[in-house]
Structure 1
Amino acid sequence: MHVEASWPGKTPGMQLDRYLLASSQEDFTHNDVWRVLRIQSEFVSGFGALAGIGPAVSVFGSARTSEDNPYYQAAERIGARLAEAGLITITGGGPGIMEAANKGAYEADGVSVGLGIELPFETGLNKWVNKGINFRYFFVRKTIFVKYSQGFIVMPGGFGTLDELFEALTLVQTEKVTGFPIVLFGSEYWGGLVDWLTKVVAEERCISPKDLNLFTVTDDPDEAVDVVISALMDAHSARQAKGL
């Protein structure tokens, strides 16, 4: 879904995200104006590709999770349950947890979406994606995740997963998005983070104690999906009550 472009000073294989962030201020009048148009085109492509797809849930998690890992199997079950509930599964389109969720949705005859990203160690979308788009810029991709998702289910993962998790928590905390359920799957994996948020961050009053209610922790794939569905139904009822 993207057009290859040759930018002044861009070396072969260099990621555009990296090129953008490495550019000097003096580049603006020469190159950055054109880069803004490139960024705009990615937004347009993303909006166009996913316009009208219907209610969707994003599943995040590590690209390094193997097929024999229980988390892979849980993500597959989550994708299937989402499809059975009439919800679209959106992932980053890569291997590991993302592949598992896409596979579960695909095999349950659901819509399986992949939002890929240009990375040096990942190539292409996994084979279970039946609607996909590739991005060059992380911030564009994250905007598309939030715009077209009604909730996040966050499986064990690394820096990218944590980035997506805290982006969502910040948007909910600041009410940039409302009625947006966030589920952390895997109490053992997320336990240390939750303890730190509770005993350090909240205790230091860097967040409000009520902010700890912005997410739900579970070890049950069915419960993860049920939490999302329940939140979406509550949000729908609230909109109806307001006549929206």
Structure 2
Amino acid sequence: MNVLMEFIHGFRRLHFVGPCVTFFGSARFEENHPIYHSTRALAGAVAELGFTVMTGGGAGLMEAANRGAKDVGGRSVGCNISLPSPQAVNRYLDKWVTIRYFFIRKTLLIKYSFAFIVLPGGFGTLDEFFEAVTLTQTKKILQFPIIIFDRAFHEELLRHLDHMIEAGTISREDLELIVVADEIPVIIDFLRRQSIEKFLLQPEVKRLPRQWLFEKA
């Protein structure tokens, strides 16, 4: 019952966020780090396309992405996680929800998104990345773009993916789901073609909340 109520809480809170691009990334990068600045710029460009920027709602690169969206007047949302050492939400969010269970949080981060951008990060970021790849590979969700940002940081990961192909544990076609790019104009063009045009995305039409689901605008 707790799990069901948590899902309902998340769906109610995030129902009207519109088409999102979700940024997966570490909470540990400080504001003065170059990747913070490049993430902020990338998120701003994504928001200017009309997407809502979604993150895990915390500090570091999550904050940078949310901040970038706010820089250009875009919409910024977060799906925070409740931890033994509380993770405060960043101050660049229009709307957020705090979730107790990681698997529910991942569902919410993926449910509303038409693309995923993987930033430098740790175990949690890789968990989210492989969740999105697996769901796309197995056609549990549509083939939304998955973009790895910062090739230098992810060099070992990319090498390991090649090793998995050589070992026969994945196919080369599986890597067609993933794009590696460092240039913001390249990423924006890719999102325009593979998300907006491919899925015929339109500006969100405002709907009234459905009271029987206890939805809130």
Same fold (TM over 0.5): yes
Unaligned runs of 5+ in 1: 1-36, 238-244
**What is the aligned partner in structure 1 of residue 41 from structure 2?**
77
| Residue pairs, 1:77-226, within 5 angstroms | 77-198=41-162, 200-226=163-189
CA distance in structure 2 between the partners assigned to 1:64 and 1:120 by the alignment:
17
Unaligned runs of 5+ in 2: 201-217
**Structure 1 ranges of 4+ moved more than 4 A:** none
Partner residue of 1:51 out of 1, 15, 28 = 15
Larger radius of gyration: 1
Quick check: 1:63 aligned with 2:27? yes
Q: What is the DSSP-based 3-state SS (H/G/I as helix, E as strand, rest coil) of the residue aligned with 2:189?
A: helix
CA distance in structure 2 between the partners assigned to 1:89 and 1:209 by the alignment:
30
Instruction: Give 1:122 shift.
Output: 4.3
| Alignment-mate amino acid for residue 230 of structure 1 | R
CA distance in structure 2 between the partners assigned to 1:46 and 1:229 by the alignment:
28
CA distance in structure 2 between the partners assigned to 1:103 and 1:79 by the alignment:
8
Larger relative helix fraction: 1
Report the TM-score when normalising by structure 2. Answer: 0.88
CA distance in structure 1 between the partners assigned to 2:13 and 2:149 by the alignment:
29
After superposition, the CA RMSD in angstroms is 1.5
* Higher normalized contact order (CA 8 Å, seq sep 6+, divided by chain length): 2
**Aligned positions, number:** 201
Report the TM-score when normalising by structure 1. Answer: 0.79
| Alignment-mate amino acid for residue 188 of structure 2 | V
Instruction: Give 1:212 shift.
Output: 1.4
CA distance in structure 2 between the partners assigned to 1:74 and 1:223 by the alignment:
14
| Alignment-mate amino acid for residue 95 of structure 2 | K
